[in-house]
């Protein structure tokens, strides 16, 4: 796990290694174990290293392959690198170290851009071909690792793991992208390939891009098509599916044990993290450290559940109570940990538990991805109930959406009934696509106009992020409704919210997070499973729970799902129905006042 930077100059005489060094320093938290900068032709590559596999200096980056042609900077882990390496050795390739980085180089030498579809893991990388004078970049299937790029004011191409690194380059111009700001106010995150700044973009997950020596794009495309795995449904019966999921999950966890440094795991006490920890404990031969965060507020606190499981299976468990005297400090730290506006408040406890984990390990496994694969969120149940809501007169639904009747005051629960009521009935006024989109909506278009001003009215409506969602829906309009929602959420919510939160919070404390549920073999198989086995009536994660029943204790499997939110309503003294909006606006104001 590392941080990468690079710059391709139109004119080699203007190249400036010092600029790359400044950018590397800005993302030093992503790789505190070393720095490397190398100039090749009119390309300069920079790297900050977090040493995980092959701790020797032979695995430092930027790295060149044995033949001296290809140079790489790489952020991530390739879990099947040994298998690919064995294949390449048979083909006559030589290797100088034991890292997965060198395997990427030699795989590219053999397969060109076709190599990316062979990789199982997480990656954001750039390869300079010193013979053909071209820069090749790629980002992993789901977008676990970030990759931002832009052209500076002189036409030079620049890339970095974080926007914070790009800020260190004086030749890059920062102007707010109001379409992205509109997206943020609506959703709390920014949809790729946008960033919050004009002309700074994210490389889309599952894609590659190739530039020539003059910084012009000469090739780009996708190396993975998630949709095709939904379209071809498995013929396996239910029992075979259960066993296949269990086997694939076991394999996914074992792959993510590959490390030359200690491995631990986050443990919330819920199904996803608990199943990861239990499976990891079966195969990890060293002391297994697990980490949890809790709150004084009872409905937010899952520490007793996590500690109960840790004691049962015998991990060395560490927990921390998040009970700040000054909540504003935590909110400000969360804002600074992100490189652009981001309003998922669960990043606050993620930052705290990552700090705790960093005292003991460099690698942690997490349960991220299971909800998006197995339909674990309450929103998927809401999608089911949508058809029944249509039987209610529209006028009454409007009243319920405005909370004119029904639940008026939210309780101390994480997400109060009043908030759920409003979101559900607001969505019920639209078609099924927009209904699903609106379950997680922060500010309506008119509310966004009120925040941004009347001069942005046309922009708010013309660039509504629902249009991006709708394009994804159009790609899979032949799917069942649940599969459509799962596909769209993977392209939006998973990549641009969940995985951003995980990456930024862990890298803030210089540790690496690995997500077994997002193993590509497992994810592709789950996509092929009939949707009725994911959401079975009102039972979410039906087939996952069936697969885990012989592994995970009943008190975990039968536990009511609980989100990983911070108790902002208590900290900020607001009604829980307003806490998401309040936090969204807090981050918005923070960036306007403190960032370019």
- In three-state secondary structure terms, 563 is coil
- Tokens found for residue 407: 């639940």
Rg (CA), the chain: 24
If you search the block for the tokens 């440094």, which residue do you land on? 261
d(C-alpha 153, C-alpha 54), whole Å: 39
Strand ranges inside 66-185, DSSP E: 70-78, 121-129, 134-139, 148-151, 157-160
CA distances from 59 to 47, 102, 204, 263 (A): 12, 8, 27, 20
> Which of 107-145 are b and which e, b meaning 16 or more Cβ less than 10 Å from the residue's Cβ?
bbbbeebebbbbbbbbbbbbbbbeeebbbbbbbbbbbbb
Q: Give the closest residue to 180 by CA, choosing from 440, 443, 465.
A: 465
**Bridge partners for 35 per DSSP:** 48
- In three-state secondary structure terms, 177 is coil
> Burial of 33 by CB count in 10 Å (0-12 exposed, 13-18 middle, 19+ buried)?
middle
d(C-alpha 345, C-alpha 563), whole Å: 11
Q: Could you tell me if 245 and 525 are in contact, meaning their C-beta atoms sit under 8 angstroms apart?
A: yes
Catalytic residue among 2, 115, 160, 215: 2
Helix or strand holding residue 571 (H, E)? helix 568-572
If you search the block for the tokens 């080699």, which residue do you land on? 12
* Beta-carbon contacts of residue 227 (< 8 Å; ≥ 6 apart): 475, 476, 479, 487
Is residue 2 flagged as an active site residue? yes
- In three-state secondary structure terms, 432 is helix
Nearest-10 Cα torsion for 164, 168, 169, 172? 50
CA distances from 44 to 10, 88, 127, 156 (A): 12, 28, 11, 11
| Sign of torsion over alpha carbons 275, 276, 281, 287 | negative
- Active-site residue list: 2
């Amino acid at each position: 796990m590392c941080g990468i930077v690079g710059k391709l100059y139109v004119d080699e005489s203007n190249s400036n290694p010092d600029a790359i060094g400044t950018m590397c320093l800005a993302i030093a938290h992503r790789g505190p174990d070393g720095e490397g900068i190398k100039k090749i032709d009119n390309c300069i590559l920079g790297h900050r290293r977090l040493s995980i596999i092959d701790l020797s200096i032979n695995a430092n980056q930027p790295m060149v392959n044995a033949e001296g042609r290809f140079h790489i900077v790489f952020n991530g882990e390739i879990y099947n690198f040994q298998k690919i390496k064995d294949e390449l050795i048979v083909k006559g390739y030589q290797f100088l170290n034991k890292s997965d980085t060198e395997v990427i180089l030699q795989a590219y030498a053999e397969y060109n851009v076709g190599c990316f579809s062979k990789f199982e893991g997480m990656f954001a990388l750039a390869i300079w071909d010193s013979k053909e004078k071209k820069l090749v970049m790629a980002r992993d299937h789901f977008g676990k690792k970030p990759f931002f790029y832009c052209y500076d004011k002189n036409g030079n191409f620049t890339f970095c793991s974080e926007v914070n690194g790009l800020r260190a380059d004086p030749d890059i111009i920062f102007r707010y992208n109001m379409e992205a700001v509109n997206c943020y106010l609506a959703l709390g995150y920014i949809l790729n390939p946008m960033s919050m700044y004009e002309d700074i973009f994210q490389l889309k997950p599952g894609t590659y891009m190739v530039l020539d020596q003059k910084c012009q794009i000469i090739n780009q495309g996708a190396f993975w098509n998630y949709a095709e795995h939904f379209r071809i449904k498995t013929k396996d019966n239910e029992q075979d599916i259960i066993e296949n999921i269990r086997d694939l999950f076991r394999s996914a966890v074992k792959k993510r044990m590959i490390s030359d440094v200690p491995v631990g795991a986050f443990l919330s006490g819920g199904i996803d993290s608990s199943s990861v920890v239990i499976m990891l404990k079966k195969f990890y031969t060293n002391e297994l450290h697990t980490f949890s965060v809790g709150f004084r507020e009872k409905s937010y606190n899952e520490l007793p559940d996590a500690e109960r499981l840790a004691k049962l299976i015998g991990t060395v468990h560490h927990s921390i109570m998040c009970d700040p005297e000054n909540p504003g400090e935590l909110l400000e730290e969360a804002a600074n940990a992100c490189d652009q506006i981001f309003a998922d408040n669960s990043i606050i406890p993620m930052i705290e538990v990552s700090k705790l984990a960093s005292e003991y390990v460099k690698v942690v496994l997490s349960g991220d991805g299971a909800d998006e694969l197995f339909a674990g969120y309450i929103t998927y149940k809401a999608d089911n109930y949508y058809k029944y809501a249509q039987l209610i007169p529209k006028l009454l639904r409007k009243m319920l959406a405005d909370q004119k009747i029904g639940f008026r005051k939210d309780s101390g629960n994480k997400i109060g009934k009043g908030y759920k009521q409003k979101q559900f009935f607001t969505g019920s006024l639209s078609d099924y696509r927009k209904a699903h989109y609106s379950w997680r909506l922060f500010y309506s278009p008119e509310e966004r106009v009120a925040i941004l001003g009347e001069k942005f009215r046309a922009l708010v409506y013309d660039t509504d992020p629902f249009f991006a969602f709708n394009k994804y829906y159009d790609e899979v309009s032949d799917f069942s409704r649940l599969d459509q929602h799962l596909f769209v959420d993977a392209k939006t919510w998973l990549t641009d919210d969940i995985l951003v939160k995980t990456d930024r919070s862990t890298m803030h404390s210089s540790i690496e997070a690995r997500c077994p549920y997002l193993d590509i073999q497992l994810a592709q198989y789950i996509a092929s499973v009939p949707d009725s086995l994911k959401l079975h009536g009102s039972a979410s994660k039906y087939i996952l729970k069936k697969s885990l029943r012989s592994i995970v204790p009943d008190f975990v499997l039968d536990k009511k799902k609980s989100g990983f939110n911070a108790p902002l309503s208590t900290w900020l003294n607001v009604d829980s129905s307003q806490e998401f909006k309040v936090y969204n606006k807090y981050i918005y104001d923070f960036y306007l006042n403190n960032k370019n």
